[in-house]
Structure 1
Amino acid sequence: MSDEAAGRRPSIRDVARLADVSHQTVSRVINNHPSIRPETRERVLQVMSDLQYRPNRAARALVTSRSQTIGILSSSSTQYGPASSIAAIEAAARERGYWVSTANIEPRDPSSIAAGLAHLMAQSVEGLVVIAPQMRVFRALAAQPLDIPYVTLQSTELDPTHALSVDQMAGARLATRHLIELGHRHIYHLAGPQDWIEAEGRMRGFLEEMSASDIPTTAPILGDWTAEFGYYAGRELLRVRDFTAVFSSNDQMALGLIHAIRDEGLDVPGDISIVGFDDIPESAHFWPPLTTVRQDFAELGRRCVDVLLGPVGDSAPVPATIVPELLVRSSTSAPRPL
């Protein structure tokens, strides 16, 4: 190889020259074209190995119109739910021979949404998953026409033809019904941020289940998903102890609530029962272990990929909604009299 070639990454033309074939032949080998003789294929692959040549995926996409890449537009990849969804999609995509490229956006900045989409489209992604559970993101996306298959998570009412979701309302109703069936009638709801679609669904589920049992409610408390806020809310609520149970919109805030209750010298669940949502890995190890609503993120990821690429074999069409599961642990029990 020349000194010039040695000082840069090997190219498809370097492979062609050393294998004594055309660069079109190398391209056919890379793309598993059936017209290549076995001995030619082996010779090209050996040279590629010797040179440690890796095909340029973007260039390959231009030739084949296939990038083998799924794009994810995410506005909250640090939260447990979205982060778990991304990991599940990546695992399901790898099983189908695909890679995933993620663009993180700032949902309060419409230009960030457009830039994130442009970044993914420049990579010739074959499909798109939108994990941006703030309502303002979907309003911005409505002005961005997409010419590739896409699926949105937790946006059933905003984009019903492309939505795939865990039924947040059903999960919230399971949690609330569990407390009601234990005998609780004084139940508070610690909700998530107002603009989050999941938070809205869980709040609506709580209110509907309370209404169905003809139990009066107080206004839900709007939180920020953090254990710190759960602790702060718990300290404030305990100034006037007029409740026996709290349904928290996620497990982290539930952890903060348990901390606040213990700091007041009270017992969970003896004095106050707590239910969370998500079933984060640590929730089974809270003290007491947390009763919570579990979302099947692995199944959600598999369904996302099946929606974009089509089901494997003769599989049935992909259902748009996954029903969550209530996991009853030790943080809930029948109430004591106030």
Structure 2
Amino acid sequence: MERNNETITTDFILLGLWPEFSHLVILICIILLVYFVAVLGNVFLILLIWLDSRLHSPMYFLLSQLSLIDLALISTSVPKMVTNFFSGKRTISQVGCGAQIFFSLTLGIAECLLLTLMSYDRYIAICNPLRYSVIMSHTICIQMVIGSWGGGSVTSLVHTAYAMHFPICHPREIPHFLCEVMALLKLTCEDISVYVKSVVVSSFLVVLIPLSLILVSYTLIFLAILGMNSPEGRNKALATCSSHLCVVSLYFGPAILVYMRPGSFNTPKLNESLFMFNAILTPMLNPLIYSLRNKVVIAAVKNIVISKWPLRKIKSHLGYCM
């Protein structure tokens, strides 16, 4: 439609990641490289867990779901950001903006819940090993995954629907590299103080409560480890927990700073940097942490990649013929 020679549009403009940065091409290329590494790492870890029978356990099943979430999470923002940069068009439709908010929130909350359930898995494995196979059955694991995705979807749907219904009275420019609830609400002309308080409350529910449960689980785990007589058993237990603790720290640190820091609504630059860490860097780092710090995963890599490498078979065949 046109009114007074001005085109009225419902599209939003994503200003991007640090638009004032003088070397944006280099930054975008680095982000694109990070994206490819994240995709390859997470896909490889998912396939590895599926192919190697030694990884067919609740711990690695939950890890494969974490990789699936990370793969989807980084794909909600990076492809659109890179496409906008190289095409010169920074617009995103209202439907696309709502979809980006919904999926990013769903995946973020699902990852939060899944990390909490993974800590429970480690607690059962170390503190109650004799009943591990009964408590962490395949059915229970499936229910855990469904609960994580379901909890994330329901919470995200409520926030997305509520945030998108506000009328926009400011220029439709979002100072972010993706559509994000708080950045979008800056464009509305209505009083959103009540909604901001509800965001803080929901953040308490989906961030602090899971983090508290994780801390309780690991407190009990470390007490059990200290009571072990075997140094080998202690080292093995610590090794299985260290990777998960690193991932928990990478996820919950930025999440707390974004949603639970006083005045976080008024610090978009810092929030954007923290979002970049959680939505772009963490999905790349997670499979590397679990691959490089886990002896079972390293052994599975050797089994799948090295022992079944075609060139090795050819060399063995040539050696046999000679």
- TM-score by length of structure 1 reads 0.23
Instruction: Flag the structure with larger Rg.
Output: 1
TM-score, structure 2 length as denominator? 0.24
- Greater relative contact order (Cα 8 A, min sep 6): structure 1 or 2? 2
Q: Which of the pair is proportionally richer in helix?
A: 2
